[in-house]
Amino acid sequence: MIRAERISKSFGDRRVLTDISAVFEPGKTNLIIGKSGSGKTVFLKCLVGLLEVDEGELYYDNVLFTGLDFRGKKEIRQQMGMLFQGSALFDSMTVEENVRFPLDMFTTMSYQEKLDRVNFCLDRVHIVNSNRLFPSELSGGMKKRVAIARAIALKPRFLFCDEPNSGLDPKTSIVIDELIREITVELSMTTIVNTHDMNSVMENGEKIIFIEEGEKCWEGNKNEILKSDCRILNEFVFANALARQLKDSSG
């Protein structure tokens, strides 16, 4: 479980996050939605500690994360996996080396054990026969899947995904969404996903937090989101023509 309490963050005199509180439960895919530039990435980076928060507290399973020193954070970080907005694969390494990297760094497994784990993870994200390829030789969707494989290599308890389906076609997006939901249940991870894609919201939205201009405006699940009377949320949800028509026709 991850609990954020009244998180605020500014860059210089520019306030990006204001007083955000939220609870994220294990075994669930938690979504953070909002327009481009609303502060989703900054919020996620604050949660994992890549950015220092200015105010507020973060708890991982009731351990105060924001109060830990580098070593304490490191321990919790080894239970985190993250999928970055641009995949962030190491481009000097092959697919196999990328997924093996956390194992090399933090385990004492034998080479064969590591290789088995790597192949298991790659198989899990449906990447086959690509172990020797470099990231520059992969398509965007494959990169994301390899990045997911790398993120789950150490069986993390917390998974963070920054826009896992941006830049992908609708069908591949759905594959990735399903993948994330399945492994979340499988490993009973606490998963937090940033997205501005309404398809994923309707697919995965067990718990949704809506951020607008760095403030939390709404919280609920995918069934509630269509009925909410929050005006800004409605503008976001029904931004496209198809969604508007559906809403009008259903009354």
Partner 1 sequence: MFRFLSGFGSYWMLLGRVFAKPEKHSIYYRQTMKELVSLGLRSIGIVTIISFFMGAVITLQTAYNTENPIYPTYLIGLGARDSIILEFSSTIVALILAGKVGSNIASEIGTMRVTEQIDALELMGVNSASYIILPKVVASVLFNPFLTLISIITGITGGWIVGTSAGVITSQDYIYGIQYAFIPYYITYSLIKTVVFAFIITTVSAHQGYNVEGGSLEVGRASTKAVVYSSVTILLFNVILTQMLLS
Ligand X SMILES: Nc1ncnc2c1ncn2[C@@H]1O[C@H](COP(=O)(O)OP(=O)(O)OP(=O)(O)O)[C@@H](O)[C@H]1O
Q: Does residue 36 bind ligand X (CB under 6 A)? A: yes
Give the C-alpha separation, 242 to 196, whole Å: 16
Strand stretches in 91-168, DSSP E: 158-162
Closest listed residue to residue 8, CA positions, set 214, 218, 219: 214
**Is 41 one of the binding residues for ligand X (CB under 6 A)?**
yes
Rg (CA), the chain: 19
Q: Does 48 bind partner 1 (CB under 8 A)?
A: yes
Interacting partner of 50 out of partner 1, Mg ion, ligand X, none (Cβ under 5 to 8 A depending on kind) = partner 1
Strand extents, DSSP E, 98-241? 158-162, 190-195, 207-212, 215-220
Backbone angles phi, psi at 171, to 5 degrees: -70, -45
The verdict on 105 binding partner 1 (CB under 8 A) reads yes
Based on the shown chain and the rule CB under 6 A, indicate whether residue 47 belongs to the binding site for ligand X.
no
CB 191 → ligand X: shortest distance, Å? 17
**Secondary structure class of 228 (helix, strand, coil):** coil
**Contact status: 38 vs ligand X (CB under 6 A):** yes
Q: How far is the CB of 159 from ligand X (least distance, A)?
A: 17
Judged by CB under 5 A, does residue 87 bind Mg ion? no
- Residue 194 CB, nearest approach to ligand X (Å): 6
Which of ligand X, Mg ion, partner 1, none has residue 34 at its interface (CB below 5 to 8 Å by kind)? Answer: ligand X
Round to whole Å and give the CA distance between 152 and 143. Answer: 14
DSSP classification of residue 47: H
Answer yes or no: are the C-beta atoms of 148 and 160 closer than 8 Å. no
Q: Can residue 74 be called a binding residue for partner 1 (CB under 8 A)? A: yes
Residues 6+ apart with CB under 8 A from 172: 141, 165
Q: Does 67 bind ligand X (CB under 6 A)?
A: no
Hunting for tokens 């995949």 — which residue is that?
87
Among 11, 90, 111, 120, contact with ligand X (rule: CB under 6 A):
11
Binding site for ligand X (CB under 6 A): 11, 16, 34, 36-42, 163, 196
Binding site for Mg ion (CB under 5 A): 41
Binding site for partner 1 (CB under 8 A): 45, 48, 50, 73-75, 77-78, 80, 82, 84-86, 88-91, 101-102, 104-106
